[in-house]
Amino acid sequence: MSFLTLSHIQKSFGTVQVVHDFNMSIEKGEFISFLGPSGCGKTTILRMIAGFETPSSGTITIAGKDQTSLKPNQRNIGMVFQAYALFPNMTVFDNVAFGLKIAKMPKADIEKRVTEMLKLIHLEHLATRYPYQLSGGQQQRVALARALAPKPQVLLLDEPLSALDAKIRVSLREEIRQIQMQLGITTVFVTHDQEEALSISDRIVVMHAGRADQIGTPFDIYNHPETRFVASFVGTLNLIDAKVADASAGTILLGDQQVRLAKPLPAAAGETVTVALRPEAGSMAEGAKGEINLSGTVASSHFLGSVIRTRLDIGGQLISFDMFNDPGQAPPAVGEKVTLTFAGDDLMVLPH
């Protein structure tokens, strides 16, 4: 049975509808990420779960209880914001204790719970410091501890890492995921960073223009995109125009080279379709296994350390290809004739 349910949620601001008939069931203890560009509706959905916005229609339930008309302080929810939102005149200890004091918890219990939370985020040695004496990463960990201290049913994270530098962002997202799994708390995380979403989520909701274009595991979202938007937004893709040779046989023409796909095509012979190929798919190694072989010319080759990024001219179209660096083999040279080998399943036909 689902723990957090959003049923037929819609939200309009004036005449502008920003969320269209959104439906989702989230299990207890799941880590869900809402991923999408600015203005897609992901933060609006988070704010409706928190109670800061009221749905124009639809219902939100947590553990079977309707939350739709409840105020934020009537919902047992913890929230972490992008801008930390710590109280500057309070110590780390008092910031974490704030929600517990509001709930009138006994002083001894507050001290015990705050100590537990500071130990959880590894900042017990900074309990007497003020926010201005902390780094950005430390402040965000304090904000996380403050949100978790009252033992909320659901934890909401609104782009909590976007103000941090790249290295801190990676370590803190791993720490957030570890804490979430340790506590088993149902978590909704909003981000525009696909790497964040792919690395720590149980499931991802890819939002586009107020709708969920696709909901699935990181593996499925990346490898089996269901819409053109998901395919182009998550990861890097080569988009290749091809002509249908035989729809039932699944054959297409890339320039003058015929390719057979794994499935029949939803288009008639002579029509143009767009196929997509991930840069890491396939191999240029001699004897590589795969049903499809495409011949091309190296247009550019860039050494990026662990990865060599090559662009191939195949039938007048440029296709990017990534391969791991091999110290015993020089990168492909510009002008070199090469063959790219990959599986039929690697070529995805995108819907219009």
Beta bridge partners of 31: 187
Q: Which residue has the higher pLDDT, 179 or 250?
A: 179
Torsion on CA atoms 350, 352, 245, 262, rounded to nearest 10: 30
- Which pTM value belongs to this model? 0.88
Q: Where are the beta strands (DSSP E) in the chain?
A: 4-13, 16-26, 31-35, 57-62, 65-66, 77-80, 154-158, 186-191, 203-208, 211-216, 238-246, 251-254, 257-260, 272-277, 292-303, 307-314, 317-324, 337-342, 348-349
Distance CA(179)–CA(144), nearest Å, equals 10
Is 5 in a helix, a strand, or coil?
A: strand
Q: Which residue has the tokens 């995108």?
A: 350
Using the predicted structure, report yes or no on whether residue 213 has a pLDDT greater than 90: yes
How buried is residue 136: exposed, middle or buried, by Cβ count under 10 Å (0-12/13-18/19+)? middle
Task: Find all residues with CB under 8 Å of 80, minimum gap 6, and list them.
Answer: 140, 143, 144, 147, 155, 156, 157, 158, 160
Q: What is the mean pLDDT of residues 97-107?
A: 93
Residue 84 tokens read as 């930390």
- Binned at pLDDT 50, 70 and 90, residue 1 comes out as low
Using the predicted structure, report yes or no on whether residue 170 has a pLDDT greater than 80: yes
- Binned at pLDDT 50, 70 and 90, residue 265 comes out as confident
Using the predicted structure, report yes or no on whether residue 157 has a pLDDT greater than 70: yes
Return mean pLDDT, the chain.
92
Using the predicted structure, report yes or no on whether residue 352 has a pLDDT greater than 70: no
340 closest CA partner among 267, 304, 290: 290
Is 274 in a helix, a strand, or coil?
A: strand
For the stretch 16-59, pLDDT in tens is 999 999 999 999 999 999 999 999 999 999 999 999 999 999 99
Distance CA(270)–CA(108), nearest Å, equals 77
The least confident of 27-31, 128-132, 159-163, 209-213 is: 159-163
- Given this model, what pLDDT does residue 326 score? 87
For the stretch 285-321, pLDDT in tens is 887 888 888 899 999 999 989 999 999 999 889 999 9
48 closest CA partner among 35, 36, 59, 39: 59
- Given this model, what pLDDT does residue 349 score? 84
- Binned at pLDDT 50, 70 and 90, residue 167 comes out as confident
